[in-house]
Every structure is written in structure tokens, then in C-alpha cells.
Structure 1
Amino acid sequence: MLPATARLTNSREFRSVTRRGRRAGRSRLVVHALRDDSITEGSARAGFVVSKAVGNSVVRHRVTRQLRHLVHDRLDRLPPGTQLVVRALPAAAGSRSSALAADLDTALDRLRLPGSRTGES
């Protein structure tokens, strides 16, 4: 579970990240990222968009839980002030966590966020 301080919580934040941020798409998800250079401390924050196109509510909640877990493990590798919106695509519905993790890592690497440490283990 993401702590409250690590979550995007309102539509204004989601809209800002998706419109002004950089985007990296993969077959199962799209990652939007926006970095606020004025923030030098604290963790990155993330939000998730899983529409009805992904599946029924059971499927959508499963995909959201998988993505939340994967992002939680990667937030500390991102620079402070980074905001992420992870949007699941319909192909995410039948995907394993390992496939979603590979897509997420590739998308984060493609974004090349300054100061990120996504390549570290």
C-alpha cells in the first residue's frame, strides 16, 4: 500500500501530470511523469488510472493492486518531486505481475528522469 504522502489525490494533479509531463507507452501501460525541481526532499508520488476498458471491477482492482505494489517498490529510486500517473491499457488485464513490472521498468528508463536511479537493484 502506498502511504498517503506518496499518492496523487485529486483530478487537478492527475490532469497536470498527464498534460504537462513526459510520456512513455508500452503494450500494457502508459507512464506519465512530471518533475518539480523546486522539491528537493520527500518521496515521489504516484496515481493510477484503470478504466472500464481494462475489465470489470474485479479485474480493474486486481490490476490496480498489482501496479500499486510495483510502483511502491520503485518510488524511492525516483528523484524527489517526481509525480507519476500510471495508466493501465486493456492488455494489462490478463498480464502477470512480472510482465507489468518489465513494462513499468522500461517506461521509467525511457523517461530518463534526471537524478533517477531506476537502473539500480
Structure 2
Amino acid sequence: MLPQQQKFTSPSDFSRTIKRGRRAGTRTVVVHLVDRSSMPDADIALQGGPRVGLIVSKAVGNAVIRHRTSRRLRHICVSRFGSLPKPTDLVIRALPAAGTASSSELDSDLNKALKKLGVGHG
């Protein structure tokens, strides 16, 4: 479970990150990353800790598969918080292949996408 302060709180958080952020994709996920410290809106920039938003659409599968995929991605994100810079917003969009991927495949793909963006896990 993601702590409340590390979740997106509004649709505008998603759209801001997708529009202003850098993007990297793999077979199962597309990751959008933005550094809040570079944002002109001071109250957003000052919010603490990395924040994550997940997008898991119907293209991933039925409700059971979507929820399972979301749980797996949330669990993976919690383990990444130590390696993300504090003023970071991250949107993870699951692609259809994520519905059949294992947790280790999702973890590996997320790691690859973050490395492409210059944010390694470790």
C-alpha cells in the first residue's frame, strides 16, 4: 500500500506529469518522470517525497487482472522510494503485456525504464 503523501491526489497531477515529464517505455510499462523542483508552481514543488500515479486501463485485461497488475506495480514502487529523488513525480502506465507479466518482469521493466530516464534503482 502506498502512503497517502506518496500518491497522486488529483487528475491534474497525472496530466501535469505526462505533459511536462520525460518518458521511457518498455514492453510492459511506460514511465513518465518529472522533477517538481523545476516547476514554477511553488506549492507543488515543495510537497515532500516522491509521488506515484498508476494508469492501468481496460486494455490490460479484465478487472481481476487490472487490480492484480496495480497491486504488483504498487508493491514494486514502494521498494523504489529510497532510490528516487524527493521532488519526483512518476506516472506508470501499464501496457497490455503487463497483464500477463510476472512481478519480476514488471520489476525488471520498471528498472529498465527508470535507467533510461537516468534514475537507477539501488
Match of 2:19 in 1: 19
TM-score, with structure 2 as normaliser: 0.90
* Structure 2 CA distance for aligned equivalents of residues 22 and 77 of structure 1: 18
| 1:65 partnered with 2:71 | yes
TM-score, with structure 1 as normaliser: 0.90
1:8-87 to structure 2, matched below 5 A, reads 8-37=8-37, 39=45, 42-87=48-93
Q: Which runs of 5+ in 1 are unaligned?
A: none
CA contact (8 A) 1:43 1:76 kept: no
Match of 2:41 in 1: none
Query: Structure 1 residue 47: deviation in Å?
Result: 0.5
Which protein is richer in helix relative to its size?
2
Q: Deviations over 1:24-74 (max 9, x none)?
A: 000000000000126578320001000000001110000000000001100
CA contact (8 A) 1:23 1:31 kept: yes
Query: Structure 1 residue 7: deviation in Å?
Result: 0.3
Task: Name the stretch that deviates more: 62-71 or 35-44.
Answer: 35-44
Task: Tell me the amino acid that sits aligned with residue 91 of structure 2.
Answer: V
- Output the aligned Cα RMSD: 1.5
